[in-house]
Chains A and B, each alone.
Chain A
């Protein structure tokens, strides 16, 4: 509710100045964060002035402030949405009780784990994307990448604040560890698999921001329902920033498709090789990237049956997506949900207790949302008169987690044997050759208003600026 005090080292709306110990602890963490940013943040960007959106408060005029800023001077701060003193827990066993302002002892370990896991993904994606600035297809895209990077950094701050404020010494140690793990590091990797994958090129980046940041949206939305009020308020505000990340993904892939369709129409061909020769990305390659990122991302929701998920829900730590808008009893005892398993070489559905299937419930919400966006991508092709359509693969495709882990499955949902899998793998998932081809297109284009040949310009600029606006001033 408070506005930001500009004279403070750490901008915040949580009255940090009133809690000296906490302030000192966070001021101790801050230089480590900056070191981390310098070491593994966006490569070679230190002297760039980037046209960034910076939050200075959580009200609409305050959180969408635009201006050229050096990323190192970005106001990574602590922002919580206004609280409601009368808020009640609205699901699980504590339903109807007053929301918690402090961590109840019995839920401490679980809450810490949830916050650490969420916090770990934020710096990870910055690490995964650190080289992308060197191959940006335009100045506009470069700015979007950097915007995402600084906001992931701020989301890390959000989780670190909770750890420091509510988890004492353990929290401080966990906050340190967040800066010590590194994406893809053999000895000390990030916690979740998808965050150790490479983001080698811009098509991968757009797929990542479309799918994987959307996982972020659903996880944050589930946490925004939490009985632990500080977590709910922080994640609510993070969600508003997360939207931009998904926008970059959704519009990025749309623009790739628009360019491909244009080339196909100009050359009157649907031959992938001819499209490639013309410097655009062929549709089958785009579909394979989609298959990969989609399947890796849906693993992030965890095992299809999980007693942890049941505990998190019943104890009020993590709700469902849009919990408040659902009309059931919000306790879910005695209800069931359908999950998939393989029986006699066939996929079958089986009923399991709803509480244990909550990861699957969230996954299905995500799938619905993802598919709607893929539908919008198809409109781009439809408008261009191209008959091909993209599709998300079956949800059992390429899974590494839960009951479906390791089962060989075609994108259209047939269980296949090892031989067929080996024969078709490169038809279904990007091959080394696909990566090499896409990599070959990644030349750096950063003159204002110019775009690489494999991607169309956006429909409009950021914050109503023209597309050829100087989004980045190179220092």
Chain B
């Protein structure tokens, strides 16, 4: 998600100069160089920060975690922020209105605040209401499963990307629908670019943005298994959705997704990464994998499924269940629908939820999870089960709540189970 370009209004990331101790940790941490400083203040560039939250927990003071709803045209500039002695107050609804931002749009921007910040707001609200708010992010692991393979990260930094060649590009959703998702294959030739299922890579779109800065890289999950989209080749595949409208449904042409979807075989692209060292699959043969995704969140799930399929084909895999919960608006918009149907039932347990099938009630992945509570409870009791959640940010809370409820109904203590899942690297959340 790119917060810097929400229609007309942004949630601007700011640093509280009264609390910040100018320790440089955030600047050293930010993967996209969004933070800079002078002798006076540390500040965030609104047009570069993508809300990845990498800087939030390393900051020793908490001063980094401040967000303001601002009309895009009035976003605080670096120069302004450098002079601050304290944070400006939130603009009032009247001020926002006067700047042409409707209360609705402001609300939407607030909804776009990354999960951790929202969780914080909720936590504050909860102090008053006593009932502690549910914070799904707190259960997400930041360590890989113990049997995961070793992941390489950041081999190519934003300042020194590598080049890959497009060797495949096709629409993997049914043609003729508004929303299309492409399956792209990139080849790295002789350049070392080792990736594991669950990692992502960054693509740097060519050209510059509205204020003349180079576009920042967008992240895409790898959809192919570790030994290549084509086994034994140094290539990876991606699942990229063409963004044609923003989160509010207004038409917009996503910079990078359209660039990628329009690439021709033989074109070259600039790639950074790989990224991610915890959303990795377990390798031990009796481990179970539960995959919960929407839309392009299926990319890492495809990678893991395909790796297991290849292992099974070669006779190297015995037990280990695979269970998939996959949500999309319609069957036509579901990437890889065809190939999924041809997987044997004793290999993978597939559950599809469609929210916009005409004539049918809306169904979301968490509804399906509740229907399969008995099977999920059995998996929650088994220390070899691993849970992966990937896709739209808005699904995360519902999915983790569903897991919690399944656990509770089965008489499990969620505090214990949830903490173990996190500690043991068995629940992974990646939403955007």
Contacts and interface: CB of A to CB of B under 8 A. Distances in A.
B19 interface: yes
Interface string B48-91: 00000011011011100100000000000000000001000000
Interface in A47-75: 56-57, 59-67
B146 A7 contact: yes
Interface stretch (A246-254, A280-288, A298-306): A246-254
A3 B150 contact: yes
B120 A464 contact: yes
Contacts of B39: 368, 372
A239 B57 CA distance: 15
Interface size class of chain B, counting residues whose CB lies under 8 Å from the partner chain = 35 or more
A4 B57 CA distance: 19
B21 A243 contact: yes
A64 B64 CA distance: 14
A60 B53 CA distance: 9
A373 interface: yes
Contacts of B144: 3
Interface in B114-140: 120, 123, 127
A56 B143 contact: yes
Contacts of A250: 21
A244 interface: yes
B153 A243 contact: no
Contact of A246 (B21, B120, B143, B150): B21
B142 A247 contact: no
Between B60, B150, B423, the greatest number of chain A beta carbons within 10 A of the residue's beta carbon is seen for B60
B22 interface: yes
A240 interface: yes
A460 B62 contact: yes
B368 interface: no
Nearest to A61: B142
B255 interface: no
Between B19, B39, B423, the greatest number of chain A beta carbons within 10 A of the residue's beta carbon is seen for B19
Contacts of B146: 6-7
B contacts with A: majority SS: loop
B86 to A, nearest CB: 9
Contacts of A464: 62, 65, 120, 123
B19 A240 contact: no
A277 interface: no
A62 to B, nearest CB: 6
Contacts of B414: none
Contact of A1 (B25, B55, B153, B278): B153
A239 B27 CA distance: 12
Given A2-B150, A243-B24, A464-B120, A62 B62 contact: no
B150 A373 contact: no
A61 B25 contact: no
Interface string A444-461: 000000000000000110
Contacts of B25: 239-240, 243
B157 to A, nearest CB: 8
Interface in B137-172: 142-144, 146, 150-154
B117 to A, nearest CB: 9
A72 B424 CA distance: 21
Interface string B19-32: 10111110011010
Contacts of A59: 153, 277
Contacts of B127: 466
Given A3-B144, A61-B142, A243 B23 contact: yes
Contact of B21 (A60, A65, A82, A247): A247
Contacts of A460: 19, 62
A379 interface: yes
B28 to A, nearest CB: 6
Contact of A239 (B28, B31, B85, B151): B28
B18 A379 contact: yes
B278 A246 contact: no
A contacts with B: majority SS: helix
A67 B29 CA distance: 21
B29 A3 contact: no
Interface in A79-127: 82
Nearest to A466: B127
Contacts of A251: 19, 21, 61
A62 B277 contact: yes
A463 interface: yes
Contacts of A62: 142-143, 277-278
Given A2-B150, A3-B151, A62-B277, A463 B57 contact: yes
Contacts of A372: 22, 39-40
Contacts of B60: 243-244, 246-247
Contacts of A242: 23
Contacts of B120: 464
Given A3-B277, A372-B39, A60 B154 contact: no
Contacts of A60: 29, 31, 54-55, 57-58
Nearest to B22: A372
Contacts of B23: 217, 242-243, 246-247
A225 to B, nearest CB: 14
A9 B142 CA distance: 20
Contacts of B151: 3
A240 B58 contact: yes
A64 B57 contact: yes
Contacts of B278: 61-62
Interface string A365-377: 0001100110010
A431 to B, nearest CB: 30
Interface in A1-45: 1-4, 6-7
A197 B411 CA distance: 57
Contacts of A7: 146
A2 B18 CA distance: 37
A7 B145 CA distance: 12
Contacts of B58: 60, 63-64, 240
Contact of A240 (B28, B31, B85, B277): B28
A470 to B, nearest CB: 14
B152 A1 contact: yes
Interface string A347-382: 000000000000000000000110011001001000
Contacts of B62: 459-460, 464
B18 A240 contact: no
A66 B423 CA distance: 11
Interface in A372-408: 372-373, 376, 379
5 contacts: A7-B146, A59-B277, A60-B29, A66-B57, A82-B153
A-B interface, 7 closest residue pairs, ranked by CB to CB distance from nearest = A243-B23, A64-B57, A60-B54, A61-B142, A244-B60, A247-B60, A243-B25
Given A372-B39, A459-B19, A466-B127, 20 more contacts: A1-B152, A2-B150, A6-B146, A7-B146, A61-B142, A62-B278, A63-B58, A66-B57, A217-B23, A239-B25, A240-B28, A242-B23, A243-B21, A243-B24, A247-B60, A251-B21, A372-B40, A373-B21, A376-B18, A459-B62
